[in-house]
Amino acid sequence: MIIIFVMIAVNMIGGRFSNPLDWLQHKILLLPAIVIGLTFHEAAHGFVSYKLGDPTPKNQGRLTLDPRAHMDPFGFLALIFAGFGWGIPVQIDPRYYKHPRRDEFFVSIAGVTTNFIIALIAMIINTLLLMNNIVDSGSVVTQVLNYMVVINIILMCFNLLPIPPLDGFSILTQIFDLRKYSWYYSFYNKGFLLLMVFVLLGVTDNFLGKGVSLVYNFMLEITLRVIQVL
């Protein structure tokens, strides 16, 4: 929590709150993307785990698109004020899986895959609206859809960082069976603190900047091909 408050203070000192009205308008337009991105990301983990035989997400009420079931208050506030955040992680029990490593891999990629799909759909809709002159580039609809694209790509890339407890580390854990190594649990327990330090020092910015740009351009190519077919 101390790190989160430090990042909020850094943002304030950096001048992000120098124009409160512009900042407030920006955050209001950002809210739909944040709520949908985090909610669908966590719900996807729960749904896939449940379909693979694990009743835990259902028993804990996570098989829903109600944001209240998935939004972590501190993670939500951090995303608003500090530029990064998280939802409530979905608890799973791999003992119910028929093929634990394979099935846990599918659960791990469910969230980021969902973020990719949401971003792609938003980009296609936005492009079609602009091409058919239904909205202009400065409209509220366009801005909300643009944020929907960018925020979901950011959530996808951020969660693919190979640092626990993010999905990227879980994916690597299943691929390389990392639990068999003696350092695994010690590293996992320190992962969140390490992640916050990396974020605070800006270490993750380089990866996210390049990653978001690559995914955005790739998604744009897909969008143009889809529109040609339509």
Are the CB atoms for 44 and 111 separated by under 8 Å? yes
The total domain count for the chain is: 1
Collect the ranges in the chain with pLDDT lower than 70.
1-18, 82-85
d(CA 104, CA 92): 9
Q: Which structural domain range is residue 8 located in?
A: 2-229
User: Would you state the pLDDT for residue 153?
Assistant: 95
42 tagged catalytic: yes
User: Would you state the pLDDT for residue 205?
Assistant: 79
User: Would you state the pLDDT for residue 22?
Assistant: 83
User: Which member of 34, 37, 42, 103 is catalytic?
Assistant: 42
Q: How far is CA 23 from CA 12, 16, 89, in A?
A: 11, 7, 29
